[in-house]
Amino acid sequence: MHFMETAVAGAWIIDPSPHRDDRGRFMRAWCAREFEEHGIHFLPVQANMQFSLRKGTVRGLHLQSAPALEAKLVRCTRGAVFDVTLDLRPESPSYGEWCSVELTAENGRMLYVPEHCAHGFQSLEEHSEVLYLTSAFYAPESCRGVRFDDPAFGIEWPLPATALSDQDRNWPLAERPGHMLPRSCKNSVTNMKERSI
């Protein structure tokens, strides 16, 4: 695998090294040893999948707070998505900054999202699917969020938002980078049944 640093400290874009032959391809999707060699201490405990029917669907931006801090490893298994991570760590050199990458089923690229960073994505094609591994179990009481269109961060989404959950539409606007009201997603029926990243 090939690891590339991003504008967000501790967030990595990871490209596979596929082996191809007349049958198709083989590629490694995760390796604890290779991650450790790059200083990434990530032990997945849960895997989740999201499927978006419509092009332009936005999911996020989400994260979990202590004691359920969560890192994520995200990849697209069908279609294509514009994937974003936002740094909400006041002590970080990239505090308030965001980075993005296009993940597709074809390129096999992954995004590693560190703890304390919000994550979200927009589907670039109809019927896009995302698989992500997490370092913590889902904890609704620790769920936090940032509005995808919050002017405090100025994330440049490539398409108009065609579908958005009520929860994501109603996250409070930040007064300054990293400031979020402690609102939990535990009362969201949708979130309880289908994990939103």
Q: Is 127 a catalytic residue?
A: no
| Whole-angstrom Cα Rg for the chain | 16
Residue 166: φ, ψ to 5°? -60, -40
pTM across the whole model: 0.86
* Per-residue pLDDT tens over the stretch 91-106: 999 999 999 999 999 9
Q: Which of 112, 116, 119, 132 is catalytic?
A: 132
From the list 166, 115, 120, 127, the residue with the least C-alpha distance to 146 is 120
Q: Which of 62, 112, 116, 119 is catalytic?
A: 62
Q: Is the pLDDT of residue 7 over 90?
A: yes
pLDDT of residue 27: 87
Q: What domains does the chain contain, in order, with CATH numbers? A: 2-193 (2.60.120.10)
Q: Is 95 a catalytic residue?
A: no
pLDDT of residue 179: 47
Alpha carbons within 13 angstroms on the beta-carbon side of residue 190 total 9
